[in-house]
Structure 1
Amino acid sequence: MLRRSLGRHHIFDACYVLNLDRRRDRWAHVQRQIARVGLEKFIQPPAKVTRVSGVDGNSLDVEALHKDGVITDLGYTRFLLPTEEKLFGMDLTRGAIGCALGHRKIWEMIVAQRRTCALVLEDDVEFHHKFGRLLGPLWKRVPADWGIVHLGGLDLLASEKPPRPFIDDGIRLAYQGHRELTAYVIHHISAKRCLELSTPMTWQVDTHISNIVESDPEAQDKYIADPKMYVFQPSLAIQITSFGTDVQKRPSENPSLEDAARRMREFIGGGTSVR
């Protein structure tokens, strides 16, 4: 059983932020977010927030990745589709391939360093305004069998389902429609599993690592079982859209309004979001 806390206040033995070299604006944003919520007090010294250079999809030779077996035949065929024919949030784009390779880069570091509780952030994260007060008590309630704990995310298949049951106050299982890798906690065992599941690529990376599910009769749904995923609700982190997207096939039509609505829905209302 992996330790869930390393000290009185410390939770994480590593923190990685994925950021493209050309997106200094995003790096400045995430640094402000980290300072605002006092994130470093939750990180066990000598570990500190570590910036990891992302993989720029614009510079990738996607045809070569397909020939090398990194991308499946189906994935490559769908990659070549016109943008309007792609499945939003599912099909590969240049940005989505770069995103997957960036997360794999971090997972390899976590495995090599045998991290037991690593926080991974994307550079468009925004933290809950009460993050510093909420995280510690929430983390103490995380079940010992966790593989990945999402600080938030989209719940794409929640519509027309019963309310999601809670494992404990503020914590529930992540179900098969859970998407986003904006902010999550992972250990080396689950990171190794994610490396196994995420190539060869057919779909975006969060789909690949969410495919192994088990039934939950109470929820009338299936939860992600390997690696076993939990999610905080209300969310402690959201992905904002005002920086644009390189991953999805289209940007938000009204980023400021969408971000404000998501803050209200998740941070204030305690609900979940779909897109």
Structure 2
Amino acid sequence: MKEQPPIYLINLDQSPERLEKSSARLKEQNINFERISGVYGKTLSDIDLIKNYQPLLNRRLFYRPLSKGEIGCYMSHRKAWQAIVDNKHPYAIVMEDDFRLVGDLHNVFATIEQLPVKWQLIKLAAYENRTRPIAFSHRVNDTFNLVVHKKAMTGCCAQAISYEGAKALLAATEYFARPVDTDLQHVWETKVPVYSLMPYYIEQDLDFDSDISAASGTKKVKKRFWKRKWLQFLEKIANKKATSQIIDTLQAQLKK
């Protein structure tokens, strides 16, 4: 069996039960992982909160302020991306600790190794296991398709990220204003195309309560309704063009 890729599991120090369950689930498939100590937003100082998160930029690019939990979540993923770059991994799997396995991940690893195209980010799960219309699908083998959705899937439960992808994401998100999965959807800004390997062999375990909510407190966040509608209009136009370009590039690689 081919050696598995590096796997980074994001886990808060405040969530030992999640670490225990995640470890047991991966151990069932003889999969090793390295833990990334998640950033607990609730304990961030005012200075730490604005190290990467920019409130003024948020006001311009998003329809509500980010919660402390969302900021911590974003910073946690940046730690994982930095680990990929620092260790010069060709690619690694980054997982959050609220997953469950519904297939043999070794088949996923083997399929990623045989992909005939260059890639930077591949979604391996979807937020709350939702579905989304598919714009393009390429059969990789008897089990998996490489998919481009009409809009990149939300959620960061599990994804494969290449060295070049991690570098690009770190550069594009040194200062951020939206949730991490929302920024990943903005492929025209990050310059990191988002694919999916389907069917997903990893699902989000919906029995877990949200760590983001727990790390954010109970303060109600005011949403800017018309700002949201305007941003959605602009993003729809930009996303349609970017998705078309991603598909064209992918098809050109597949013809070689």
Do they superpose with TM above 0.5? yes
Q: Which residue of 1 aligns with 2:45?
A: 61
Of structures 1 and 2, the one with the larger relative CO (CA 8 A, separation 6+) is 2
The separation in 1 between residues aligned to 2:92 and 2:152, in whole angstroms, is 24
The answer to whether the 8 Å contact 2:121/2:165 transfers is: yes
2:202 is the alignment partner of 1:237: yes
The answer to whether the 8 Å contact 1:157/1:177 transfers is: no
The answer to whether the 8 Å contact 1:149/1:229 transfers is: yes
Q: Which residue of 1 aligns with 2:249?
A: none
Q: Secondary structure at the match of 1:199?
A: coil
The answer to whether the 8 Å contact 1:94/1:246 transfers is: no
Q: Equivalent of 1:98, from 72, 79, 83?
A: 72
2:138 is the alignment partner of 1:167: yes
Q: Secondary structure at the match of 1:167?
A: strand
Higher helix share: 2
Shift of the 61–132 alpha-carbon distance from structure 1 to 2, 3 Å rule, reads: closer
Give the unaligned 5+ runs of structure 2: 218-256
The separation in 1 between residues aligned to 2:107 and 2:4, in whole angstroms, is 13
Q: Deviations over 1:165-188 (max 9, x none)?
A: 312242212443411111111122
Q: Secondary structure at the match of 1:181?
A: coil
1:242 Cα deviation from its structure 2 partner: 1.7
Q: Which residue of 2 aligns with 1:122?
A: 96
2:35 is the alignment partner of 1:51: yes
Shift of the 103–185 alpha-carbon distance from structure 1 to 2, 3 Å rule, reads: same
The answer to whether the 8 Å contact 1:78/1:92 transfers is: no
Q: Secondary structure at the match of 1:39?
A: coil
Q: Equivalent of 2:162, from 178, 187, 212?
A: 187
In percent, how many aligned pairs have the same letter? 22
Q: Equivalent of 1:112, from 62, 67, 86?
A: 86
Q: Secondary structure at the match of 1:179?
A: coil
The answer to whether the 8 Å contact 2:66/2:178 transfers is: yes
Q: Which residue of 2 aligns with 1:144?
A: 117
**Counterpart code for 2:26:** I
1:230 Cα deviation from its structure 2 partner: 1.6
The answer to whether the 8 Å contact 1:72/1:200 transfers is: no
The answer to whether the 8 Å contact 2:41/2:70 transfers is: yes
Q: Secondary structure at the match of 2:166?
A: helix
**Counterpart code for 1:119:** I
TM-score, length basis structure 1: 0.66
Q: Deviations over 1:26-53 (max 9, x none)?
A: 001101110123324xxxxxxxx11111
1:147 Cα deviation from its structure 2 partner: 0.4
CA RMSD in angstroms comes to 3.1
Q: Which residue of 1 aligns with 2:58?
A: 75
1:76 Cα deviation from its structure 2 partner: 6.5
TM-score, length basis structure 2: 0.71
